[in-house]
Structure 1
């Protein structure tokens, strides 16, 4: 099942897509307005999120196929924090070595037992589908990083989404200690368009992913990959994130990228980014300068 967050008249509504049909779960019970509400109902009843949603479908309002166009989805989950993992794909290791004044450290991370896991964003730094993702005005080299996002509740995997880990490669390349400035800033992250329940994905390590970047009528980047190229498992990255760490009840962990534009490319204001992930959907954003 896919779960979307809509906002109509300032009020949140939780919509579920199952077997190609859309249903308004908030119409079934006003106490279920967000995906977080569904997670808490799941914990109270000791049922999966899909089981709770399925039990409400009989009372939920059916929506037309155009509902997501008429009322575009917002950020699908208001996570307390978003973290990210780096150097989980060979191409990411190669790209960060190329940009860095200290390239050997990235090979060390790629081959080491301990992965790189770092803080990425708070809710007020995160945008949803069709909103503007940011490039810093003090950066000369900026790229999107399309990633599989893991949605966690009380440290357990409950779903998956798409994430865009916006990055200033020029700032990080000056010195690895500048990583927080290269990664954490206004509009530095986008997630969406939905949360796909963990129970409805057979294998998160075998999903096709693609990204296109357009500038006006020109497509500047169009490549695809598969999450099977990730050298670490989702479970390994989650364990590193939650161990010895006070994590929020609801959080998202981005798992790294293997789609990296050429070194000559940098984003500009007005560019359009589309990230697609098999079984989840497409996340679209416009670039703005912050």
Structure 2
């Protein structure tokens, strides 16, 4: 299933994309895609619905973050072999973990707002993972059973904030709108192998990033298991699993986002995002 939340910010309704690519309303069946709707049992119940009988949503409404009330947004750094090379960093022995503020989350096609005083805002296309049930000290072999589904994620980063203003990455990662998620959450039954997905990102029509999740240093299963040994993962938590090569910081000369740029990013089977870059305070 492809699950969505549509409507104005803060007023989103639950929906799904049917087999014909049409948006159907689910608000008569569930209140929202909250943590309790991400379990295997809850998702199986939705899968049994006759989608043809669900109300059809007309027009092209905004698509919001496909999961409501995300508790944690966890990210993994330097997780593609080629990205480690372009960043001139050693292959990490264990996953590099940092947090993105949940206030950075936004819809897949919402504007990217450059933060005040930004000089080096950059892009990072990533495979996003949404947790479906509570995970503590789980094994790598069982880890994917704890995943509700997958989504496209753009781990936007202000590189000066991240690298040149102290040792903490988080402040360059959690700026408002620096966490576009979606356009939808694709349930894990539609992604039998998360380690064989093409990922890409274009800026103004030019291909900047292209890779495949098979070149991840740490697999999705490894990441989910690893994190569960350091923190409790809860339904609705989101994990960004790292980016392939081609970020603006590593290009020669370096390229960073500016107002008016258009970013298009996608992951095989999971859809595509499109964002316009605007200046602070984010006026259209």
| TM tier, smaller | 0.7 to 0.9
Where structure 1 has 5 or more consecutive residues not aligned to the other structure, the ranges are 98-105
Per mean C-alpha deviation after superposition, the further-off stretch among 124-133 and 273-282 is 124-133
TM-score of the pair, normalised by structure 1: 0.81
| TM alignment of 1:117-128, pairs within 5 A | 117-122=97-102, 124-128=103-107
1:236 and 2:222 correspond: yes
SS at match of 2:99: strand
Q: Which residue of 1 aligns with 2:142?
A: none
Q: Whole-Å Cα distance in 1 between the matches of residues 124 and 156 of structure 2?
A: 6
Q: Which residue of 2 aligns with 1:7?
A: 7
Residues 218-255 of structure 1 show CA distances to partners (whole Å, capped at 9, x for unaligned) of x3444422111112110111122222314443210000
Where structure 2 has 5 or more consecutive residues not aligned to the other structure, the ranges are 136-145
Task: From the two aligned structures, give the one with the greater strand fraction.
Answer: 1
TM-score of the pair, normalised by structure 2: 0.83
- Tell whether the 8 Å contact from 2:200 to 2:207 is kept in structure 1 after alignment: no
Q: Which residue of 2 aligns with 1:88?
A: 79
- Tell whether the 8 Å contact from 1:117 to 1:240 is kept in structure 2 after alignment: no
CA 1:10 to 1:164, structure 2 compared with 1: closer, same or farther past 3 Å? closer
Q: Whole-Å Cα distance in 1 between the matches of residues 25 and 270 of structure 2?
A: 19
Q: Which residue of 1 aligns with 2:138?
A: none
Residues 173-204 of structure 1 show CA distances to partners (whole Å, capped at 9, x for unaligned) of 33661412221222221111000001111211
SS at match of 2:48: helix
SS at match of 2:7: strand
CA 1:41 to 1:169, structure 2 compared with 1: closer, same or farther past 3 Å? closer
Residues 66-95 of structure 1 show CA distances to partners (whole Å, capped at 9, x for unaligned) of x4x521211111211211001101232133
CA 1:199 to 1:138, structure 2 compared with 1: closer, same or farther past 3 Å? same
Residues 145-189 of structure 1 show CA distances to partners (whole Å, capped at 9, x for unaligned) of 000000012232110001111112233333661412221222221
